């Protein structure tokens, strides 16, 4: 066991399971809160197939729980449950907190730091973005396919702090490429520039990234959606580079036939992360008096599709 912070992973699906397992493998004291995969982890442990190196953690090296009340209070809570489950967070996180506990959210989209800050105080909150392609193959089996880079930043004040540097260092020691961002809001919006068109159109049309930008009309549409995200960011006080859309489309060409999490959710008839990725940006734009027709259309359309799935 490392002499380091004790850590709780709230929502040990693919992302939480992977990063938590990397930290546990390195010797950190990690406590995993699970739901559906709890029995599998307790009986067979966790198997990780990773482009950064495969590894296994036997049940004896996994501190798995199926109830927050049974967990110890920790120094760092890492939140990785799907944003569609955010309403469960107050009850799941509260039992884990000491006075000085930090809460790091690695969730998608916007509004998660604000939600946690509203319940637990803004000073605890660190935001993080995971640029990773990772799947839960089956109970207790995670497949890390590509990337894995994590950027963290303080929610209050400047992004850099001793605490955020320590989190990035801890992840880096554990074989996770990590760094500190100067400005959490700018970094979040920058990620949105990619997520809104590719997750949105990808789910709406069941189309992979290469299909979306494979025609000139498709590329133009993706760029138009990205342009609206830039407008929404600016209305929210974040000025992104004007060439960010072109650069992101260009970078996406090397990703091949990539399925976003939202497209996968739709295929699997799971709830899509509509509010975090689409609803929050749309509402921020509306409050600023902006008309963003494509974002509004994506937001509306995905809610219609989500309601059809649940039926």
**Alpha carbon of 230 to those of 109, 204, 237, 251, 278: distances in Å?**
15, 21, 11, 18, 13
CB of 210 to its own copies, least distance (A): 12
Is 82 a residue of the active site?
A: no
What is the footprint of its own copies within residues 46-105 (CB under 8 A)?
A: none
3-state DSSP of 198-232: HHHHHHHHCCCHHHHCCCHHHHHHHHHHHHHHHHH
Q: Which is nearer to its own copies, 186 or 221 (CB)?
A: 221
Report the residue from 54, 114, 182, 206 that binds its own copies according to the rule CB under 8 A. Answer: 206
Beta bridge partners, 130, equal 150
DSSP state of 258: P
296 binds its own copies (CB under 8 A): yes
How many residues in the shown chain lie near its own copies by CB under 8 A? Answer: 23
Q: Which stretch binds its own copies (CB under 8 A): 75-83, 110-118, 163-171, 198-206?
A: 198-206
Cβ distance to its own copies smaller for residue 8 or 222: 222
For residues 1 and 310, which CB has a smaller minimum distance to its own copies in the complex?
310
Asked if residue 132 binds its own copies (CB under 8 A), the reply is no
User: How far is the CA of 215 from the CAs of 120, 160, 221, 246, in angstroms?
Assistant: 47, 41, 10, 15
Q: Which of 40, 133, 205, 288 binds its own copies (CB under 8 A)?
A: 205
Which pair of structure tokens corresponds to residue 189?
Answer: 């919006």
3-state secondary structure 123-192: HHEEEEEEEEEEEEEECCEEEEEEEEEEEEEECCCCCCCHHHHHHHHHHHHCCCCEEECCCHHHHHHHHH
Q: Residue 246, interface with its own copies (CB under 8 A)?
A: no
166 binds its own copies (CB under 8 A): no
Which range, of 74-82, 150-158, 268-276, 303-311, touches its own copies by CB under 8 A? 303-311
Cβ–Cβ under 8 Å, residues 130 and 19: yes
Does 308 participate in binding its own copies (rule CB under 8 A)? yes
Which of 49, 191, 269, 309 is flagged as catalytic?
Answer: 191
Closer Cβ to its own copies, 36 or 215, answer by number: 215
Q: Which of 252, 229, 254, 224 is nearest to 241 (CA)?
A: 229
Compute the distance between CA of residue 58 and CA of residue 46 in angstroms, rounded to an integer. Answer: 6
CB of 302 to its own copies, least distance (A): 9
Subset of 216-245 contacting its own copies (CB under 8 A)? 217-218, 220-221, 224
Residue of the chain from 122, 204, 255, 288 that contacts its own copies (CB under 8 A): 204
Q: Is the dihedral of CA 253, 255, 256, 259 positive or negative?
A: negative
CB of 60 or CB of 216, closer to its own copies: 216
Residues designated catalytic = 191
Q: Which residues bind its own copies (CB under 8 A)?
A: 201, 204-207, 211, 215, 217-218, 220-221, 224, 293-294, 296-297, 299-301, 303-305, 308
């Amino acid at each position: 066991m490392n002499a380091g912070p004790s850590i709780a992973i709230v929502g040990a699906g693919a992302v939480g399971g992977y990063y938590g397992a990397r930290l546990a493998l390195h010797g950190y004291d990690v406590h995993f809160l699970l739901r559906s995969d709890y029995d599998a982890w307790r009986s067979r442990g966790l198997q990780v197939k990773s482009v950064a190196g495969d590894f296994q953690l036997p049940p004896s090296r996994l501190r798995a729980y199926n109830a927050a009340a049974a967990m110890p209070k920790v120094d760092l809570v890492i939140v990785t449950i799907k944003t569609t489950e955010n309403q469960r967070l107050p009850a799941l996180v509260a039992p884990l907190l000491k006075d000085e506990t930090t809460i790091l959210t690695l969730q998608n989209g916007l509004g998660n730091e604000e939600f946690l800050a509203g319940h637990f105080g803004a000073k605890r909150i660190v935001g993080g973005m995971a640029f990773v392609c990772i799947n839960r193959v089956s109970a207790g089996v995670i497949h890390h396919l590509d990337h894995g880079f994590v950027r963290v930043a303080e929610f209050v004040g400047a992004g850099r702090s001793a605490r955020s540097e320590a989190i990035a260092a801890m992840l880096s020691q554990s074989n996770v490429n990590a760094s500190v961002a100067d400005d959490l809001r700018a970094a979040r919006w920058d990620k949105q520039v990619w997520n809104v068109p590719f997750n949105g159109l990808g789910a709406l049309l069941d189309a992979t990234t290469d299909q979306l930008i494979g025609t000139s009309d498709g590329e133009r549409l993706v760029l138009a959606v990205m342009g609206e995200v830039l407008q929404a960011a600016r209305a929210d006080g974040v000025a992104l580079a004007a060439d960010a859309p072109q650069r992101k489309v260009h970078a996406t060409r090397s990703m091949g036939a990539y399925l976003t999490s939202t497209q996968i959710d739709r295929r699997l008839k799971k709830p899509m992360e509509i509010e975090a990725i689409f609803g929050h940006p749309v509402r921020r734009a509306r409050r600023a008096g902006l008309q963003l027709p494509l974002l509004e259309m994506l937001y509306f359309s995905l809610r219609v599709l989500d309601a059809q799935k649940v039926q």
